[in-house]
Structure 1
Amino acid sequence: MYALRDKEMIFVFTGPHGAGRKTVAEMSGSTLGIKQVISYTTRPPKATEVDGQDYHFISPGQFAKAQAEGEFIEVSTVNDHLYGIKSKDIEEMFQRSGSIYLILNHSGAETLKNLYGDHVVQIFIYAERETLKQRMKESGDSEEVASKYLSDFEKELAYRDRCDHVFENVDLAHTVFDLTKTLDKYLNRNLLELD
C-alpha cells in the first residue's frame, strides 16, 4: 500500500446514485487541479460513458484475475457488478498530483478512510429521492435500474453522518462553488473570492 506524505490528500465523493457526485467532483477537481483515480468495473458502459475516463470497463474474468493477484485495495458489488480501486493507480496519480479524488459508494469510502485515516476527506453529495428518480430517468436509466439504486437510498443517506462535509446538490453551480471553497482550505491554495 502507498504511504502518503504529509500534505497528500484523498478526497472521496460519496452519496446516492444520481445525486451528481461525478459532475460535482469533476468540476471541483478541475478548478483545483486535483486528479481523479478511476475505478474498474465489470458493468457495461452506458451510452455516454468512455472507457478510461468514466471507468475502466473490464470483463469479470479480468477483474477476478486482478483481484486474485491482490491488485485492488477496495472491491464492492453494486447491482451484481463489481467495482474496484487499484493501489498502483493511487500511487501513480500521487506522483503526478499532490492530492487526488475518487468517486465511491459508502463502503468504498469507508475502506479508504480505514486505510489512509486523516488523509481522507469524505464528501457526501445528495439530493431528495424524487430528484434522484427524475435525474436517473433523464440519464436513460430504466425504471428497474432506478428502483434498484433507490432501494439503497436510506442506507446511503444514513452514511452522511460519518462524512466530513455534506452538500445537498440542488443547484449545481452553487454546490460546486461551496465545495471548491471547502476543499481549498485543505489544499491551502487561497483561491480569491470575487464578488
Structure 2
Amino acid sequence: MHFHRTGILFVISAPSGAGKTTLCTALRQKPDFVYSVSCTTRPPRAGEIEGEDYYFLSHDDFSQRIATHAFLEYAEVHGNYYGSLKEPVLEHLRRGVDVLIDIDTRGAAAIRDNNDSIIQEALADVFIMPLDIEELRRRLERRGTEDTQQVEIRLTNAVREMECWRDYRYTIISGSMEENIEKFRAIMRAERYLSRRFSLIPCQSPEKNYLTAKNAENAENRLRNKKS
C-alpha cells in the first residue's frame, strides 16, 4: 500500500495595499503549487502579461462564461469583473496538485459556499491583515496607480474587507515580505501534514504480482505454441 495526498486549495485574500500581490509574486519564484490565473475585464497594468498575471477578457466574453457556469467564483470589484476558472482547479486537485488562488473576500466567500465536495475538502483560506489603515494609505499612494478619489474608495472597501478576517481559517498579520512568506509557508507545511488529506492506496501483493506475471508468461507460451 502507498499514501496518496489530495490537492489543497490555498485561497489568499487581503485589502488593496496589504502586500498580497507581492507575497504571491514571491511565492511563485519557488513554486511547489499551481497558481490559478484569474480572468478579469480590467485593462492590463504596465508590465502585466496575458496568461501569467491575468487572462484579460472583454465584458461580453466574461458574461458568456458566467452563463455557462465556467467560474468557480466571480465578482465585480472597483467596476471590473474578476473570476477563477473552475475546471482547471478541479483537475489539479483531483491529481493531488496544490493550487493557490488570489481573490477578494467576496470571491473567498463564494468558494466557501461551493457545494463541490472536492473544493470543500481541499480549502485552506488565509487572510492578510494590515497593521492599520494609514499604512494601507501610504502603500496605495506609493503605488501611484490610482488617483486620490480611487485611493479613498479602496480604503473604504479595505475597512469592509478587514471585517471578514474571522471567516478565514488562518490570519497573517502583515509584516515584511520575508515575514509574510515564512508565515504563509508555515501554513502550507501544516496543511500538507493533515491526516485527513491522505488515503491509503492498496498495492498488489508480491504473490499477486507473481501470479499476474506467470499468467502473462503462460498466455505468451500458448500463443507461441499455436503459431508453431
TM-score, length-scaled by structure 2: 0.74
- The aligned counterpart of 2:140 is 136
**Aligned CA-pair RMSD:** 2.2
1:121 aligns with 2:124: yes
Q: For structure 1, which runs of at least 5 residues remain unmatched after alignment? A: 190-195
Q: For structure 2, which runs of at least 5 residues remain unmatched after alignment? A: 195-228
CA contact (8 A) 2:50 2:56 kept: yes
- The number of equivalent residue pairs is 185
Output the amino acid matched with 1:72.
F
- TM-superposed deviation, 1:148: 1.6
- Please give the alpha-carbon distance, in whole angstroms, between the structure 1 residues aligned to 2:79 and 2:40: 11
- The aligned counterpart of 1:167 is 172
- The aligned counterpart of 2:99 is 100
- Please give the alpha-carbon distance, in whole angstroms, between the structure 2 residues aligned to 1:119 and 1:97: 10
- The aligned counterpart of 1:56 is 55
Runs of 4+ in 1 over 6 A off after TM superposition: none
CA contact (8 A) 2:105 2:161 kept: yes
- The aligned counterpart of 2:185 is 180
Task: Specify the SS of the correspondent of 2:137.
Answer: helix
- Please give the alpha-carbon distance, in whole angstroms, between the structure 1 residues aligned to 2:120 and 2:138: 36
- The aligned counterpart of 1:193 is none
- The aligned counterpart of 1:192 is none
CA contact (8 A) 1:31 1:180 kept: no
CA contact (8 A) 1:37 1:93 kept: no
- The aligned counterpart of 1:77 is 76
CA contact (8 A) 1:32 1:184 kept: no
Identity fraction in percent: 21
